[in-house]
Chains A and B, each alone.
Chain A
Amino acid sequence: MLSVLGARATDLLLRGGEEARASRRLAVIAAAIVLIVVGAAFTTDALYIRAKAALAQVLLERAWATTLATGQPTKAWSWADTWPVARLTFPSLDRSAIVLEEAGGEALAFGPAHVAASAGPGASGTTVIAAHRDTHFAFIKDLKPGDEIDVATPEGRTVRYRMTGSAIVHAQASGISAGGKTPRLALVTCYPFDGLTRGPMRYVVFADALP
């Protein structure tokens, strides 16, 4: 009795299965294609942003050379809404980057940005420079207290800073003020370093100018 029922059920399933299988196959293929297309989109977008960040630094090098030669702010490309204001060098990590003025809020896509509310690069007070943790400041976590950081200004001056320590702060309550009698540097990036989503916490490297 049971085996008869089982055989009928199998029979039913198999006969009705022709149609169901066809539409199931379609659904699976469609799902796979959607996954691949959207996945490709995400990957392309991310790689595009990273490529743009790297390419911009090349163009910025050129603009920076002009800035040094002329003493005039020089945009790296004519439609840029920002311009180089300093060059950051990390001798211990063999890294350097051109710092942009934070003008239109989009400077960060192209390089580290000088936060306009803070002191000018190399000047007395605290100079705040921020960059994306996944592009230009990806290496900032490797800086150690005592490491040297050089800031070159458009006037051709280079101020050497030494890292004194680091802090993790809230973006809206950084406790960093622009004032102060001696030049100080605060390099900012997102925290945690390997976090996947955007958060409110920032990692700040502090450095004091060497006398």
Chain B
Amino acid sequence: MKPNPNLSGTPLGLPLAVLRASLIAAAVTLTAFAVTKADPTPTLEPAVLVTPDDMGTGALLFKSTEGGKYLEAPRLKTDVSIAVTGPTARTVITQRFENPTDKWVEGVYVYPLPQNSAVDTLKMQVGDRFLEGEVKERVEARRIYEKAAREGFKATLIEQQRPNIFTNAVANIGPHETIVVQIEYQEAMRLDGDKFSLRVPLVVGPRYNPRPNVALVGYDVGAPIVAVSDPVSDRDAITPPVIHPKYGKINPVSLRVALKSGVALAAIESPYHPVKVDRIDPKTANVTVDGPVPADRDFVLNWTLAPNALPQATLFRETIGGDSYYLAMIVPPAGAKKTRQPREAIFVIDNSGSMAGESIRQAKAALLMALKELKPGDKFNVVRFDNTLEVLFNGAVPADDEHLGVAVRFVAGLDANGGTEIFPALQAALADSTPNDTSRLRQVIFLTDGAVGNEDQVLAEIGRSLGRSRLFTVGIGSAPNSFLMEHIASLGRGTFTHIGSETEVDARMTELFNKLESPVMTDLRVADGVKLETWPNPIPDLYEGEPVVLTAATPAQSGRVRIEGSLGKTPWSTSLDLATAVEGKGVSKLWARSKISSIEALRYRGANEGDVDAEILKVALAHHLVSRLTSLVAVDVTPSRPTGETMTSHDMPTNLPHGWNFEKVFGPEIGRPLIKASYEPMMQKLAMNEEPATATKDGDGIALPQTDAGTDLALVIGILMLASGTLLLLAFRARTARS
């Protein structure tokens, strides 16, 4: 374990600092980097201090007396209900927590979100107050929050500050009060071949979260173990979820999945939990977890689609007010995969300094592999850039032995050096001498870590001069700028591939080649039919293993929509009958999310920024989504019980505001003695108040953090010791020399 930084203020601090410092110096000066794995067994102490980032599942954290550190509230019950509609899932998580102390505490609710998901609903009960999140314009939300806080109401605010974690502060939690939190999020799932996969984070307990520096990991007598490494690359290996025996009993989880795939289902399996599967019809099933859910692993559900059910389009509909929202999932026709089209491949390789080391090796390996994949009839060129730019051939050349030989030698000789000027390289790669040539697919394959600053300029250039080219980004290294590279790929109507380590080069590049060689469908567009507002716009090309997910809004409930595209050179079209749509909750949210990201991309095609913002704001507010411009602010909706009366689980349902559904997390109560036992040792660490704080009273003001890194003292001591040691030696030598 790493040394506890919070000991530094205590009398123990100095000796520990000496020990730590000596070990660091020993490690650095001797360069004996005994890289060892950190002790994987986290303490089984009942309750430990954590940070919000440590949470693997939904948790309520109580503020402790140490800044930034929290104590996890006992979780009494968790209920998970998931509705899967085609490629989307809507998850409702309800969790019940308790303040086990006799005092007033302050907490923060944390939930790690799956990728591509958005929380749109938050309902919370704290003691006798009900809070419901409302989406408001970012600035207005803050104003409402500040006003409520000034007037002494309970209020919380969620702004989009973090891409992957949802946090929400809760003030004034009374002694032994119950806190119920319900959040809902919409998630878009990806189809991988014929398999869908759904994951619900359930892992309880702190994770060991090492920092990438010289860290003391053991005090073994005579053999201090010092790890010098970036431990994150194998974070999963060294941070097994804590198996917390107590939570097995006091945190029962109930979990249901209503699966409406829209396509005939083959296998449904849950690799980690026993489940009961009720098949309603070939396309629909209900999955319930059988018995208690172990809290030591995330829930995963995989389902595959029946093989011959694939080449069809499926439709889902949600009607809100007068508008219907549709979600179409079009799976590529199975026979189309083999048609290989001649290509004009432009490879761009980043050999700037940030790629030095493993990254450039991976990039070179990937590029050499790509050159080998070229077939006679293809054309190609290679561009390399750092702060200089070199285009290998004067225009695309035939992929014959002679040209390939030159290219292979060129690539093999590349070194990583210099700055990153991505923009001229992009311009060079997009410069197309035959923009109207439809006999070849023009593909630009960009290998980089994306460490650039002028992102707007880069994206704008793609918006301007993409033409018939398609841009495929290959992210190299452990921390590529994925955001930029995904953005480039989506604007460039290609795909993003991430290569994290040298061992992945083969597998990832093979996947990419399959996509490059056989784009399943291009030029997709909505043809005549019912008037629709469809997003994304334009529709991305279809590559192997990917379905096209298209959303549309229209007042119409019936009618036909024709979707056209090109399968290789063969025109393809399909007709969707709106009347055949299956009901799908959450489709409107996906439409809105898709619209927001398409509009965000318009910024790079020269749209007026003010117009873009206004449109995003309109969509986000109408569809209750947190976005760059909107926040969730939770205001006290119904103080529905008389003050002073304590809540019991018994009267809970009748007192719930209309439309609220919390009863699933009430039931037989178990484990209270365990809670007490697990909490008592840590009670003194909790920041507790005798009385509830009122928002109007400022009290002592904001507690200020410790702002001394301690380097002055360490330097003074260090230099003094060095000097006296040296003086001693000198004096001693002088004396021995004299006598």
> B701 near A46 (CB under 8 angstroms)?
no
Within 8 A of B (CB), among A122-161: 123-126, 128, 130-135, 137
Complex alpha-carbon distance, A192 and B628, angstroms: 41
> B25 near A198 (CB under 8 angstroms)?
no
Contact of B678 with A by CB under 8 A: no
Within 8 A of B (CB), among A15-41: 25, 28-29, 31-41
A65 CB to closest chain B CB, in angstroms?
4
Contact of B336 with A by CB under 8 A: no
Contact of A208 with B by CB under 8 A: no
> A38 near B702 (CB under 8 angstroms)?
no
Interface string of A55-83 (1 = CB under 8 A from B): 00000001001100111111001110101
Contact of B729 with A by CB under 8 A: yes
> A52 near B213 (CB under 8 angstroms)?
yes
Name the A residues within 8 Å of B161 (CB-CB).
73, 83, 85, 101
> B451 near A62 (CB under 8 angstroms)?
yes
Name the A residues within 8 Å of B716 (CB-CB).
196
> A40 near B718 (CB under 8 angstroms)?
yes
> A79-B230, A81-B53, A176-B702 in contact; A45/B726 too (CB < 8 A)?
no
> B68 near A175 (CB under 8 angstroms)?
no
> A134 near B717 (CB under 8 angstroms)?
no
Q: Is the interface of B mostly helix, strand, loop or mixed?
A: helix
Complex alpha-carbon distance, A32 and B733, angstroms: 12
Of B86-94, B397-405, B475-483, B646-654, the one contacting chain A is B475-483
Contact of B685 with A by CB under 8 A: no
B500 CB to closest chain A CB, in angstroms?
11
> B68 near A79 (CB under 8 angstroms)?
no
> B51 near A48 (CB under 8 angstroms)?
no
Name the B residues within 8 Å of A115 (CB-CB).
702, 704-705
Complex alpha-carbon distance, A104 and B712, angstroms: 24
Complex alpha-carbon distance, A111 and B146, angstroms: 27
B28 to chain A: closest residue by CB: A44
> A103-B52, A177-B702 in contact; A44/B25 too (CB < 8 A)?
yes
Contact of B396 with A by CB under 8 A: no
Name the B residues within 8 Å of A81 (CB-CB).
51, 53, 209
Complex alpha-carbon distance, A45 and B628, angstroms: 41
> B711 near A46 (CB under 8 angstroms)?
yes
> A78 near B479 (CB under 8 angstroms)?
yes
A36 to chain B: closest residue by CB: B725
Name the A residues within 8 Å of B21 (CB-CB).
38, 41-42, 44-45
Name the B residues within 8 Å of A117 (CB-CB).
702-703
> B25 near A197 (CB under 8 angstroms)?
no
> A179 near B146 (CB under 8 angstroms)?
yes
Name the A residues within 8 Å of B710 (CB-CB).
46, 49, 134, 198
Contact of B232 with A by CB under 8 A: yes
A66 CB to closest chain B CB, in angstroms?
7
Tally of chain A residues near chain B (CB < 8 A) = 87
Of A4-12, A91-99, A166-174, the one contacting chain B is A166-174
> A38 near B701 (CB under 8 angstroms)?
no
B703 to chain A: closest residue by CB: A172
Contact of B17 with A by CB under 8 A: yes
Complex alpha-carbon distance, A39 and B54, angstroms: 36
> A103 near B68 (CB under 8 angstroms)?
yes
Complex alpha-carbon distance, A146 and B718, angstroms: 39
Most chain B CB within a 10 A radius of its CB, from A44, A73, A106, A118: A44
Tally of chain B residues near chain A (CB < 8 A) = 81
Most chain B CB within a 10 A radius of its CB, from A46, A113, A131, A198: A46
A20 CB to closest chain B CB, in angstroms?
14
Of A44, A106, A108, A174, the residue contacting B707 (CB under 8 A) is A108
> A42 near B721 (CB under 8 angstroms)?
yes
Interface string of A168-200 (1 = CB under 8 A from B): 010111111111000000001110001111110
A104 CB to closest chain B CB, in angstroms?
4
Name the B residues within 8 Å of A39 (CB-CB).
717-725
Complex alpha-carbon distance, A194 and B484, angstroms: 44
A22 CB to closest chain B CB, in angstroms?
11
Contact of A162 with B by CB under 8 A: no
Name the A residues within 8 Å of B481 (CB-CB).
66
Contact of A87 with B by CB under 8 A: no
> A44-B24, A62-B451, A196-B713 in contact; A77/B479 too (CB < 8 A)?
yes
> A174 near B703 (CB under 8 angstroms)?
yes
> B728 near A35 (CB under 8 angstroms)?
yes
Name the A residues within 8 Å of B391 (CB-CB).
none
> A43-B722, A197-B713 in contact; A104/B702 too (CB < 8 A)?
no
> B709 near A134 (CB under 8 angstroms)?
yes
Contact of B281 with A by CB under 8 A: no
Interface string of B470-502 (1 = CB under 8 A from A): 000000001101011001000000000000000
Contact of B67 with A by CB under 8 A: yes
> A79 near B162 (CB under 8 angstroms)?
no
Could you tell me which A residues sit within 8 Å of B by CB distance?
25, 28-29, 31-50, 52-53, 62, 65-66, 69-74, 77-79, 81, 83, 85, 101-106, 108-109, 113, 115, 117-120, 123-126, 128, 130-135, 137, 169, 171-179, 188-190, 194-199, 202, 204
Q: Which 5 A-B pairs have the closest CB atoms?
A: A105-B68, A39-B721, A42-B718, A35-B725, A43-B718
Enumerate 26 A-B pairs (CB-CB under 8 Å) in ascending A order.
A29-B729, A31-B728, A32-B726, A37-B22, A38-B18, A40-B722, A42-B717, A44-B25, A45-B25, A45-B714, A45-B718, A46-B710, A66-B453, A81-B51, A83-B161, A104-B68, A128-B704, A130-B707, A132-B708, A171-B706, A174-B700, A174-B701, A175-B700, A177-B698, A194-B712, A198-B8
Could you tell me which B residues sit within 8 Å of A by CB distance?
5, 8-9, 17-18, 20-26, 28-29, 51-53, 66-69, 142-143, 146, 149-150, 159, 161-163, 209, 211-214, 230, 232, 235, 451, 453, 455-456, 478-479, 481, 483-484, 487, 628, 698, 700-726, 728-729, 732, 736
